[in-house]
Amino acid sequence: MRISCKALILSGSLFFSLAGQAQSVDVSSVHYWTAPKRARMMIDVSSQPDHRVELLDQPPRLVVNIRNAHLDHALGQPPAEHPLFSGVRATQKGEDVKIVVNLKKQVSQNSFTLKPNKMYGHRLVVDLTEVSPGAADSRDTETAVPVKAGAAAVKPVRLKKQADKDVTETSNNILPVSGKAKDVIVAIDAGHGGDDPGAHGSNGTEEKKVVYSIARKLESLINSQRGMRAVMVRKGDYYVAHRKRMEIARAARADLFVSIHADAFKNTHVKGASVFTLSSSGASSEAARWLADSENASDLVGGVSLDDKEEVLASVLLDLSQMATQEASVNVAKHVLKHFQDIGELHFDSVQKAGFLVLKSPDIPSILVETGFISNPSEEHKLKNSAHQSRIALAIFKGVRDYFKQYSPVDTRVAGL
């Protein structure tokens, strides 16, 4: 027994000795992103942190303990209107740093660490997901899933009935059109978001912020038009994987998908707006992907089952669907490009084609608008200007409206366009 105790004491001493020699982790800053009923807190640290995250009640708060850490300075606060956070305080507790986040609602949490990349160093990420008051006991099992750039597509699944209507899954079941005509639905995709800021201007302007502001202005214009309704693909500063953007548009039964970006190039003199649609090669590769899932592919050809169809016939049916979609996409793009001539210089005076992943929905006409070159100092200045953002949104809106004047889906009511 004496030997065991001595060995235990020696091993414990060795552990604490090694821990004392471990390099201290510097905690330098914190970033906040918000999604519908979700939030992310990203803490910048100098190396891989030894941490513990826990949720406490009465009052609700999140506590992050980082061992053997040093707090460089006071951490930034979340915006006052943040839906989940009401305040953050960080204190140095001996050799540890303790971060306490006061919460406005009950949440579940999931934490993980990220290694350095080209933009960031080591990071400790805490994802929070709002839960209903009645689900408080299940918070530990309802963890949020971290979103990674370039993540593989999630196969759409059938939804179960849930109290929370703002779900992230999409359904293979397309509801039949009722006897009542519906609005034309335009899915608006503000590029990038969250820890993917997109391109930067020489004065630090971030693409994600510019295009989100333009997207919101476009949303207001569309929603003010009788017979039209906008659906925002991302509703805040958070990242959405490219295929998830397509899924959101399909789940909303969108009649058109508009992705908004701001271009960049190493030559800062390059400028002008462009409008893109999907290239033929991009369409072909996507067709192969969809044909691999006959249940998905059947949605694209009027619900016709492809299970009993020969491969060639299934391919032809899908090609026909894609051809109609691509033709409509080019038509919309031409209308939008026409109105961009009124507000500034064009980089290309004709519709361009490329294999952008967000344009690959085979059954939804899709366009990608490059609003200008944020890498050009004069265009960066304009892109930051709210009045110019409004002019861009109006040009896109007019192009979309002009298209639907000529081609409105048969089950929609587009009145007064």
Residues 11-69 have pLDDT tens digits of 444 444 444 445 789 998 888 877 777 788 889 899 989 999 999 888 889 999 999 99
pLDDT for the residue 161: 31
Q: How crowded is residue 138: how many other Cβ atoms within 10 Å of its Cβ?
A: 11
Give the torsion through C-alpha atoms of 27, 32, 33, 37, to 10 deg.
110
pLDDT in tens, 220-238: 999 999 889 999 999 999 9
Q: Give the side-chain half-sphere CA count within 13 A for 387.
A: 1
In the block, tokens 């990608």 appear at: 368
pLDDT band of residue 352 (cuts 50, 70, 90) is confident
Residue 376 phi/psi, 5-degree rounding, is -90, 120
Q: In the chain, how long is the greatest CA-to-CA distance?
A: 92
Cβ atoms of 237 and 193 closer than 8 Å: yes
Cis peptide before 59 (omega within 30 of 0): yes
Q: pLDDT at residue 164 above 50?
A: no
In angstroms, the CA 335 to CA 223 distance is 19
Sheet holding 69-71, edge to edge: 69-71, 25-35, 38-45, 122-130, 107-114
Q: pLDDT at residue 214 above 90?
A: yes
In angstroms, the CA 189 to CA 234 distance is 7
Percent above pLDDT 70 for the chain? 69
Specify the range with the lowest mean pLDDT, choosing from 30-44, 83-97, 317-331.
317-331
In angstroms, the CA 319 to CA 150 distance is 27
Specify the range with the lowest mean pLDDT, choosing from 39-43, 122-126, 169-173, 407-411.
169-173
Q: Bigger pLDDT: 190 or 292? A: 190
Does the pTM surpass 0.75? The reply is no
Q: How crowded is residue 354: how many other Cβ atoms within 10 Å of its Cβ?
A: 13
pLDDT for the residue 209: 95
Mean pLDDT of the chain: 75
Q: What is the tally of helices (H) and strands (E) in the chain?
A: 8, 15
Q: At what angle do helices 386-406 and 311-340 cross, to 10 degrees?
A: 130
In angstroms, the CA 71 to CA 88 distance is 14
